[in-house]
Amino acid sequence: MRNRRFTARFSFMFFLVRLIADGADENIDNLRLAAALAWK
């Protein structure tokens, strides 16, 4: 289970990195909030 949760978080962070790389500068604050909630 622990490995599964880690994989899910890794996939989520990778998704955020892709969004930022695609030029979602206007959504960076929202992405940071989502990341903070995900890692809480």
Sign of the dihedral defined by the CA atoms of residues 19, 21, 24, 29, in that order: positive
pLDDT 10s digit of each residue in the chain, 40 long? 677 877 888 888 888 788 776 765 666 777 778 888 887 6
pLDDT at 5: 79
pLDDT at 24: 57
pLDDT at 6: 79
Q: Where are the domains of the chain?
A: 2-39
Q: Which of 19, 10, 17, 18 has its CA nearest to residue 38? A: 10
pLDDT at 38: 82
Prediction pTM value: 0.40
Q: Which residues of 9-37 are buried (b: 16+ CB within 10 A; e: fewer)?
A: eeeeeeebeeeeeeeeeeeeeebeeeeee
pLDDT at 1: 62
